[in-house]
């Protein structure tokens, strides 16, 4: 049964954040709000949590999961960035973008694209998501909460709690999830590729 935590959007209650972080540390799978709708999240190294997300979203083995980080310096531990890529990613974080980059050895192996050895990374511009990451003290392994047959991310926490009460361990809600998924930009190859157009303006990455 998913526990439902309703927190203030500007000042999320520390006690609730601590309880959600403890659920994550205990191997739990949660839904939480970001600037681009709700997302699924589990702790680093929780391979079972990723499988649960794959099952709910009906994802194949090539899906790029995302490391959701609290800061640019934290993000840099998990992906390789040359000077130009470094400047590009830094210019558009935090915000509604997911960047696909070559993974370092610190990136969880269960998250990597099984052929390209790449991983998605992002830093949300969202108070509750950032506060949870700070309490947890590490990135979340994550995936936008888009259900099979849908193109938009879910945005209503209470509806999520009702629909997934037996598939999630917790729902964190502050009533202010953004509308639409992130824009996904692949910076891992020789050419920049916009993989998905979402909330973030794709124009800076289109030739």
Give CA–CA dist 35/21, Å, rounded. Answer: 20
Supply the pLDDT for residue 143.
Answer: 93
Supply the pLDDT for residue 157.
Answer: 94
Supply the pLDDT for residue 148.
Answer: 82
CA angle 112, 196, 102 (to 5 degrees): 30
Low-confidence ranges of the chain (pLDDT < 50): none
Handedness of CA 68, 74, 80, 84 (dihedral sign): positive
Give CA–CA dist 107/102, Å, rounded. Answer: 10
Supply the pLDDT for residue 153.
Answer: 86
**Could you check whether the bond before residue 64 is cis, i.e. omega within 30 degrees of 0?**
no
Supply the pLDDT for residue 147.
Answer: 83
For 3-205, which CATH superfamily applies? DHBP synthase (3.90.870.10)
The answer to whether the beta carbons of residues 122 and 37 sit under 8 Å apart is no
Supply the pLDDT for residue 13.
Answer: 98
Supply the pLDDT for residue 109.
Answer: 85
Residues for the chain: how many in total? 207
CA angle 150, 97, 159 (to 5 degrees): 40
Domains of the chain, by residue range, sit at 3-205
Give CA–CA dist 144/37, Å, rounded. Answer: 7
What b/e sequence results for 3-21 when a residue is b if at least 16 CB atoms lie within 10 Å of its CB, and e otherwise? bbbebeeeebeeebbebbb
Supply the pLDDT for residue 79.
Answer: 95
pTM of the predicted model, to two decimals? 0.93
């Amino acid at each position: 049964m998913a526990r439902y935590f309703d927190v203030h959007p500007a000042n999320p209650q520390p006690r609730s954040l601590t309880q959600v972080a403890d659920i994550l540390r205990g191997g739990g799978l949660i839904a939480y709000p970001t600037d681009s709708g709700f997302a699924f999240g589990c702790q680093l190294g929780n391979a079972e949590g990723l499988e649960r997300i794959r099952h709910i979203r009906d994802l194949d083995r090539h899906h790029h999961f995302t490391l959701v980080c609290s800061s640019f310096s934290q993000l840099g531990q998990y992906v390789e960035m040359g000077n130009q890529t470094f400047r590009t990613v830094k210019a558009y974080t935090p915000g509604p973008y997911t960047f696909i980059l070559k993974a370092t050895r610190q990136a969880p192996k269960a998250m990597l694209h099984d052929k390209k050895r790449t991983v998605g990374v992002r830093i949300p511009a969202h108070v509750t998501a950032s506060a949870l990451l700070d309490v947890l003290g590490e990135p979340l392994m994550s995936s936008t909460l888009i259900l099979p047959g849908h193109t938009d991310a879910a945005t209503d926490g209470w509806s999520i709690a009702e629909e997934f009460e037996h598939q999630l361990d917790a729902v964190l809600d502050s009533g202010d999830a953004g509308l639409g998924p992130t824009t996904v930009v692949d910076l891992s190859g020789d050419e920049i590729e916009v993989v998905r157009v979402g909330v973030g303006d794709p124009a800076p990455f289109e030739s």
